[in-house]
Amino acid sequence: MNIEIKKSVKPVNYFDAIDFMEQRLQKIFDNNEQELIWTLEHKEIYTAGTSYNKNEIIDKSIKITETNRGGKITYHGPGQLICYFVIDLRKKKDIRKFITCIEKTIIETLRNFDLETFSDKDNIGIWYKENEAINKVAAIGIKVKKWIAYHGFAININNDLDKYKKIIPCGIKDRGVTNLISIKNIDYSKLENLLIENFISNLKI
């Protein structure tokens, strides 16, 4: 596979990121550019996918940015590792398999830190169970256009969890949101590279 790996150190503007991915998508469709895996962080922003409901906004004073990705409302901000991608699915044409690849990548990566997480066919994302509480630790939202997948997923590392109190995250009322530091307060500096390695490996399967 011929995939460009892009890592942004400084926070990237959300709209600039979407514009960049959409331009790359067209170039890939025209066979003029590599596929892309891009890790980054956003400044604070609430984004709403194509299936969100306004009733999922608890604090009506917050600004919601509507997007063309799938899913509902979520929050992005400092302390969250975002992995965007532009991946060509024209040969495989299997969206479910691609989502499973993403889920497997996150689960395997977190297992390197002795964290056991899981996916849920009824509630997209990656979850962590502690006692009786089930909380989301990673959100997934993708769009497929011309059989090329883009947007991505976000892993909560040490972000501000209070921001999620202003919305019903991903439209799921009976589960919460957590981050890695809250689960296990250790060094996660190697997570980004491990995530990229696992993603590339799983894409080859």
CB 195 within 8 A of CB 84: no
Neighbours of 148 (CB within 10 A): 20
83 is catalytic: no
CB 160 within 8 A of CB 79: yes
Neighbouring residues of 40: CB distance < 8 A, sequence distance ≥ 6: 7, 8, 11, 12, 17, 82, 84
CA distance 125 to 154: 9
CB 86 within 8 A of CB 4: no
Exactly one of 12, 36, 170, 195 is catalytic; which is it?
170
CB 69 within 8 A of CB 82: no
Which amino acids are annotated catalytic? 170
